[in-house]
Amino acid sequence: MRIYQPTLLSFTTIVLLYASAAAPGGSRQLLYTRDDPITIPPYLIFENVRLERAYVALQAWKRTMISDPWNLTANWFGSRVCDYNGVVCSSALDDPLVKTVSGVDLNHGDIAGHLPEELGLLTDIALFHVNSNRFCGTLPVGFLQLSLLFELDLSNNRFAGKFPKVVIGLPKLKYLDLRYNEFEGELPESLFDKDLDALFLNSNRFVSKIPVNMGNSPVSVLVLASNRFEGCIPTSFGKMGKTLNEIILMDNGLQSCLPDDMGLLRNVTVLDISYNLLVGELPKSMGVMENLEVLNVERNMLSGVMPDELCSLEKLRDFRYGSNYFTGEPSTCRYLENYNYTMNCLKDMRDQRSTMECTAFLSKPVDCDSFKCNPVSSCFSPPPRQISPSGQPSLAPAPSPNPPPPARPCPPLYSPPPPPPQAQQPAAQLRN
C-alpha cells in the first residue's frame, strides 16, 4: 500500500500552515489540521503521476464533504479521475503528451464541506468553479501551488474570515468571484494592483474604506455592492477609464462627493452607485461618458443641477436618480426608456420632497474637501479638474480667494505616465 507523502507542498506552505495553526482565534485550526494522509490502494494504476496526485487531492476533498444531495461525487473513486463528475482533463500545457486535470466544475452542487490543503496538488488547473454549494472555511494556502489558475469562482457558498490573501499570490488569476459569502474585514491594497479582468465581491461582510489605489485596477468589471464599504469613492477612479466597463458600488455606506474626473470613464456602460450616502453634484464631466447605458444614483443625498449633456448621451437608456435632492434636470431625461425622478427637489414635478425638507437640506452647503478623499491630505489640494469639450482633462484656474496654507505642495494627483513597453511585458505575456 502506497501512502501519499505531501512532499509537493513547498516549505513556504508548511510554514504558513504552521503559522495559521498557531494563530490566535483557534477555530481555524480545525481546517488546517491534517487528517490521516490519503492512501492509494496498490491495485490502482494511474496513467501518469499528475493524475495520481489529482486522485489524492480529490479523495481528500471528498472526505471533507458531509453532504452531497445530488450524488455528484458518487463516481469519485478509482484511478480514472478524468471520468469523475465535474473534473475536466486536457493535455498539460508544458507537455502535450501528458493528460492532466485542467479544471474542476461543481457549480450548483449544493455540496457541504470545505476545501482541504491537498487541493494544492491540482497544479495544472486553470478553472476552479464551485459556485452555489455549501463549502465553508476559507481558501487553504495550498492554493498557492496553483500557478495556472485563471478563474476562481467561490460564489454563493459559506466561506468566511478575512479576505483570502492567497489569491493575491496566484500569478495567472484573471477572474475572481467571491460574491455571496461571508468574508469580512478589509480589502488588501494589493488586490487592486493585480492584473485581474473581473472582480466580484458583492454580498459579503467587508467593512472598510475602498483602498485608495482602486484606480490602478485593470478590471473591466468591478462589483463591490452590498457590503459595508465606507468613506470615499477613491479619487483614482478616473484612472480606470481604459479598461472599466461595469462598476457596481450600490448598497454600501460610501460617503463623499463624486470624483470630478468621472468623465474619464469613457468605456463604462453600467455605473451604479445607488443606496449610499454620497453628496454633492453629478460632475459636469459625466456628460462625456459616451458609452453609458445604465446609470443608477438613486437613494443618495446628491443635489444641484444635473449636467446638460447627461440625458442626451446616445446610449443611455436607463437613468434612476430618485430619492436625492436634485434641483434641476435636463428636459431630455424624459425621453429615456427608463427613468425615475421621484423624491427630489425638482420644481413643478410630481412626487417630490416637501419644500421644507428641500430648503432644510439645501441650506447647508456641501464641502467636498471636508471628506479628505485626496490620499495626500496634509498638503494644499490642487484646483479641481474639469473636462473641456474636447474631452481632455484640463486644469481650471484656481478659484480660491483664500490664500492656501503655506504647506508643502502636493505631489501630482495622478501617477506618472506608464513605464516604457519592456517593463510591461510580463502583463502582456500573461494575457497571451
Ligand X SMILES: *[C@@H]1O[C@H](CO)[C@@H](O)[C@H](O)[C@H]1NC(C)=O
Q: Please give the residue ranges that form the binding site for ligand X (CB under 6 A).
A: 70-71, 241-242, 266-267, 298, 322-323, 340, 342
Please say which residue, 61 or 321, places its beta carbon nearer to ligand X.
Answer: 321
**Pick 131 or 274: Cβ nearer ligand X:** 274
Nearest CA to 224 among 243, 240, 195, 204? 204
Decide: 38 and 61 in contact? Cβ < 8 Å: no
Min separation Cβ 415 and ligand X, Å: 17
- Give Cβ neighbours of residue 234 (< 8 Å, ≥ 6 apart): 210, 211, 212, 213, 214, 215, 259, 373, 375
Q: Give 54 or 316: the residue with its C-beta nearer to ligand X.
A: 316
Listed in sequence order, the residues at least 6 apart from 241 whose beta carbon sits closer than 8 Å to its beta carbon are 264, 265, 266, 267, 268
Cβ at position 323, least distance to ligand X in Å: 5
Extract the C-alpha cell encoding 253.
455606506
Considering only CA atoms, which of 169, 156, 163 is closest in space to residue 187? 163
- When the beta carbons of 218 and 241 are compared against ligand X, the nearer one is 241
Quote the CA–CA distance of 263 and 282 in Å, as a whole number: 10
CB 247 → ligand X: shortest distance, Å? 14
Task: Identify the CA nearest to 81 among candidates 110, 106, 50.
Answer: 50
- Tally Cβ neighbours within 10 Å of residue 384: 15
Q: How far is the CB of 86 from ligand X (least distance, A)?
A: 15
Which residues is 394 bridged to in the sheet?
386
Calculate the alpha carbon distances from 218 to 17, 31, 72, 318 in Å: 32, 34, 37, 26
Please give the angle made by the CA atoms of 286, 289 and 291, to the nearest 5 degrees. 150
Looking at beta carbons only, is 202 or 323 nearer to ligand X? 323
Question: 271 or 373, CB closer to ligand X?
Answer: 271
**How far lies 65's CA from each of 60, 113, 138, in Å?**
9, 4, 15
Of the two residues 18 and 70, which places its CB atom closer to ligand X in the complex? 70
